[in-house]
Structure 1
Amino acid sequence: MRGIVNRVLLGLAGLVLIGCGGAVLAAGLGLPVPARWPWHGRNDVLLSGADRARWHDEGWWWPTVFATLALVVVLALWWLLAQARRARLAAVLVDSGDGEAAVLRGRALEAAVADEASALDGVARARVALTGRRDAPRVAVRLLMEPHATPAEALGRLTDEVLAHARDSAGQAELPAEVRLGAVGHRAERVS
């Protein structure tokens, strides 16, 4: 729910900024604007001469204004990127069979799956990230394949062995996974 609220607020802030920027641009281009707007044409300015001259003698004023605006832009970009980032799962709830739930650290499960996947034939490196909820985890796996690897075989063994072990270890009925395959860069082989 918090993510939806953040995205809605970010969208509204973006619409307000685009609207204000469009209004200034329309007035600057000499397009007709409503009479209530504080600026009306090409020769009208956002800050009058008196407003600009008020702090003219203070050497700190304009650098402070520009630094504040730059900080606002950086914070807005950081917020936008934070909304798009998927949160990693910190822990998985494991049913221990006695009515209580044990907690399995997410990083430990990620490391175990990555180590086991890296040991598969043809896999140079594996990166794993747990997402989802504590009681319904999801796995995102990125495999970098060696040149001699057979992707179908590596994917089958990952599904049948590695992810099955992880599902059993976490005590989950199912463990949905998204697997992305990539190739390790290598030099071309000579053919004679």
Structure 2
Amino acid sequence: MTGPRRPARLNRTLLAAIGVALLAVGGFTLATHFRVLHLVDPGAPVVPAVDPPPAWALYAAAGMAVLVGLLALRWLLAQAVRGPSSPTWREDTDLGHTELSANTAVAPLAEELRTYPGVHEARATLTGPRDAPELALIIVIEQDADPADVRHQLEDEGLPRLRQALELDTVPTDIEFRFATATTRSLR
């Protein structure tokens, strides 16, 4: 949902560098084995004077390496997804066709949240289909602000207006409070 934080960016950079290094080592190993590169004798033992492991151990190690690689790739791909996607709601009636981006629907709520006392920044994301939407809020509040006060004002004013505007009885809401720091950046 939010922009990348410095430790997360460093984490991804280091993981990408390690991944590239491992790919290079794997490519070198394969090129040596298939005699594309002649820098090392492919028949020479890695550790001299040690018996090679049984064949099943090599297959098990290769299988585990592939599994770990696939899990790491899945994790890396999951890092690219920043947050839930916001759908476009479509409604066809006798009067015509209407489309509404769910993010457009919650933009006024995010703007209203920014006006609450103690709120530094706010972001709202509406996900799910029209008949079962879910609201995710990230609210950055000042250090001396009370999250309970902000939550009560949201429940008394903001959420009822949103439900009325969307013509919904309920909107399940997930609220994440963060405290503003001197280096807090905008959530936009």
Larger Rg belongs to? 1
Task: Return the alpha-carbon distance in structure 2 between the equivalents of residues 134 and 161 of structure 1.
Answer: 22
Distance 1:123 1:83, change over 3 A: closer
State whether residues 89 and 133 of structure 1, in contact with CA within 8 Å, keep that contact through their aligned partners in structure 2.
Answer: no
1:118 aligns with 2:140: no
State whether residues 87 and 128 of structure 2, in contact with CA within 8 Å, keep that contact through their aligned partners in structure 1.
Answer: no
- Please give the TM-score of this superposition, normalised by the length of structure 2: 0.52
Secondary structure of 2:110's counterpart equals helix
- Quote the offset at 1:135 in angstroms: 2.3
State whether residues 106 and 162 of structure 2, in contact with CA within 8 Å, keep that contact through their aligned partners in structure 1.
Answer: no
- Quote the offset at 1:103 in angstroms: 3.5
- Quote the offset at 1:82 in angstroms: 7.1
Query: What percent of counterpart residues are identical?
Result: 27
Which residue is equivalent to 1:63?
none
Of 129, 143, 146, the match for 2:142: 146
- Please give the TM-score of this superposition, normalised by the length of structure 1: 0.51
Of 177, 180, 189, the match for 2:176: 180
Which residue is equivalent to 1:69?
none
Give unmatched runs, 5+ long, in structure 1. Answer: 1-20, 38-72, 188-192
Distance 1:174 1:150, change over 3 A: same
Give unmatched runs, 5+ long, in structure 2. Answer: 1-25, 31-45, 60-69, 184-188
Task: Return the alpha-carbon distance in structure 1 between the equivalents of residues 91 and 143 of structure 2.
Answer: 38
Higher relative contact order (CA closer than 8 Å, sequence separation 6+)? 2
Which residue is equivalent to 1:7?
none
Query: Could you list the runs of 4 or more consecutive aligned residues of structure 1 that deviate by over 3 angstroms after TM superposition?
Result: 76-79, 82-87, 92-96, 98-103
Which residue is equivalent to 2:33?
none
- Quote the offset at 1:78 in angstroms: 8.7
Secondary structure of 1:143's counterpart equals strand
Distance 1:101 1:174, change over 3 A: farther
Which residue is equivalent to 2:158?
162
Secondary structure of 2:148's counterpart equals helix
The Cα RMSD (Å) is 3.9
